[in-house]
Amino acid sequence: MFPKSTGIERSFQYIRLITVTTVIGCLLFSGFVVVVSSRASRALEANASGRKENISAEARDHIRSFHQYFFSLEPDEKVIKANIARALYLADASALRISDNLRENGYYVGVVAGNISQEVAVDSITLNIDSYPFYFRCYATERIIRPTSIVTRDLLSEGWLRYTARSDNNSHGFLIERWTILDNHDLKVESR
């Protein structure tokens, strides 16, 4: 009888050893998970605060991108349509109205027919992020390159920015509203 009780005693010792080892392993794994998740949560907080800190830079880039898409034209109907479509993802119906007016007045047809290239350089952007939606004014220079001349024009526009969902077509998550062109006059004309 004594040998059987020794075997049972030894079995209980093995069970205790396996149980203690399992508990210690679970505690170590839990500690590891807590440390890793803590680091991940700090990284997420850093990304979230980055949006607030970069509002001004992102808003300015959104405005700059919109103006470059809207006003950069080549004598190619597909390029014009692609650029205007990209611009319209960044703005509301006010930009669509201006684009429709240009189309109805034959501006885009004239660009293609006249072999005209148009480019825009944004000089500066004033932005008020103290009140929402954010008011902006964009100061830019347009160059209209024709076969016989190069026209340099002053461009001044204004509008408001509001938050919208980020997407592949609108990576900054802003939408330009109530956009208007305040001034667009010739500065100089050079013969070619």
Domains located in the chain, CATH noted: 54-191 (3.10.450.230)
Residues near 191 by Cβ (< 8 Å), separated by ≥ 6? 148, 149
pLDDT tens digits for 38-74?
A: 888 776 665 555 556 788 999 999 999 999 999 999 9
* Distance between CA atoms of residues 187 and 141, nearest Å: 9
Higher pLDDT, 4 or 56: 56
> Contact at 8 Å (CB) between 86 and 169?
yes
The confidence score (pLDDT) of residue 48 equals: 56
The confidence score (pLDDT) of residue 14 equals: 83
* Distance between CA atoms of residues 118 and 74, nearest Å: 6
The confidence score (pLDDT) of residue 174 equals: 94
Strand, helix or coil for residue 125: strand
Higher pLDDT, 95 or 7: 95
> Contact at 8 Å (CB) between 128 and 136?
yes
Of 99, 100, 69, which Cα lies nearest the Cα of 87? 69
Strand, helix or coil for residue 118: strand
Mean pLDDT rounded to a whole number for the chain: 89
Residue 111 burial (CB count, 10 A): 22
> Contact at 8 Å (CB) between 119 and 143?
yes
The confidence score (pLDDT) of residue 84 equals: 96
User: Chain centroid to CA 55: how far?
Assistant: 11
pLDDT band, residue 3 (cuts 50/70/90): low
Percentage, residues of the chain above pLDDT 70: 91
pTM of the entire predicted model: 0.72
DSSP code per residue over 54-121: THHHHHHHHHHHHHHHHH-B-S-HHHHHHHHHHHHTTB-HHHHHHHHHHHHTTHHHHHHHTT-EEEEE
Mean pLDDT, range 119-130, rounded to an integer: 94
pLDDT tens digits for 129-186?
A: 889 999 999 999 999 999 999 999 999 999 999 999 999 999 899 999 999 999 999 9
Q: Across-strand partners of 134? A: 161
